[in-house]
């Protein structure tokens, strides 16, 4: 299946460069280019692509505003592109519904990989962006109690899966930790996202922290599961990778 992509950036050379890289792939087709956020939203609504690459800083409507509209009104998934890795941009973009966040100096192969990963329904963060996300939550005080009203819809295994997602584990690593098949993990991940109303794994990580399921630890130490997880829950969690 061909992955259909819209590329939006107010710098024509940058936009054309990304489009050229992606169009050279046999399984990717750039269906439109846009010079501002409004054009990007209009193109997504009209053409219904699988993925939209959005520059953060664009005229008329910035990338975060465009991401918010696209995520709320379409099934298209978004990857944010920027020359900055400021935490303000990271958190705004993720809460707007972004499924990926890359710096513009991304390597050609990594750009192509990101589009494929996001189109497949997963999420992807540049390493520097992942570090910012971890630093933000490890700097916050731990929640006093776990938000059971929100997490109560999950089964014990789905809750354990969410905890592993917050550790940044892949499906294969989660399967090994839980001693189940990859197919079972995919089912659990799908159930977690569906029951909690989340778009992807990035939002699952945010949810795990915000609900208190994962307790932030001092900087440099791995985040840990909340005491409410119980004696049978997984042990301390390494940082998101």
Q: Residue 154 is part of a domain; what is its CATH number?
A: 1.10.10.10
Last residue of a domain, one of 83, 107, 135: 135
Residue-level pLDDT at 241: 34
In this structure, are 152 and 127 located in the same domain?
Answer: no
Picking from 132, 110, 117, the residue whose alpha carbon sits closest to that of residue 201 is 117
Residue-level pLDDT at 87: 60
Burial class (CB in 10 A: 0-12, 13-18, 19+), 169: buried
Residue-level pLDDT at 128: 62
In this structure, are 113 and 154 located in the same domain?
Answer: no
pTM for the whole thing? 0.68
In this structure, are 79 and 172 located in the same domain?
Answer: no
In this structure, are 212 and 168 located in the same domain?
Answer: yes
Last residue of a domain, one of 102, 135, 168: 135
> How big, in percent rounded to 5, are the helix, strand and coil portions of the chain?
50, 15, 35
Range of the domain at 194: 148-229
Residue-level pLDDT at 35: 96
In this structure, are 163 and 103 located in the same domain?
Answer: no
Whether 241 is in a domain gets the answer no
Whether 7 is in a domain gets the answer yes
Residue 143 sits at φ, ψ, to 5 deg, of: -65, 140
Whether 238 is in a domain gets the answer no
How many domains does the structure of the chain reveal?
2
In this structure, are 98 and 170 located in the same domain?
Answer: no
Which segments of the chain have a pLDDT < 50? 218-224, 226-241
In this structure, are 67 and 179 located in the same domain?
Answer: no
Residue-level pLDDT at 98: 87
105 CB contacts (<8 Å, ≥6 apart)? 83
Whether 209 is in a domain gets the answer yes
């Amino acid at each position: 299946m061909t992955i259909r992509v819209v590329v939006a950036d107010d710098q024509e050379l940058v936009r054309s460069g990304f489009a050229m890289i992606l169009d050279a792939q046999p399984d990717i087709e750039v269906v439109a280019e846009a010079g501002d956020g409004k054009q990007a939203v209009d193109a997504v609504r009209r053409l219904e692509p699988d993925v939209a690459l959005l520059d953060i800083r664009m005229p008329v409507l910035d990338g975060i505003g465009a991401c918010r509209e696209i995520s709320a009104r379409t099934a298209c998934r978004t990857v944010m592109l920027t020359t900055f890795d400021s935490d303000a941009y990271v958190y705004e973009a993720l809460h707007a519904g972004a499924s990926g966040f890359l710096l513009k100096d991304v390597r050609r192969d990594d750009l192509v990989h990101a589009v494929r990963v996001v189109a497949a329904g997963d999420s992807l963060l540049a390493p520097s962006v992942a570090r910012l996300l971890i630093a933000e939550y490890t700097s916050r005080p731990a929640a006093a109690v776990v938000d059971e009203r929100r997490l109560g819809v999950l089964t014990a295994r789905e809750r354990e899966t969410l905890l592993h997602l917050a550790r940044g584990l892949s499906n294969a690593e989660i399967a090994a930790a839980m001693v189940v098949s990859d197919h079972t993990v995919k089912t659990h991940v799908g159930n977690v996202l569906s029951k909690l109303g989340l778009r992807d794994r990035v939002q699952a990580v945010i949810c795990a922290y915000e609900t208190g399921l994962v307790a932030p630890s001092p900087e440099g130490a791995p985040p840990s599961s909340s005491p409410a997880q119980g004696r049978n829950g997984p042990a301390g969690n390494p940082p998101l990778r």
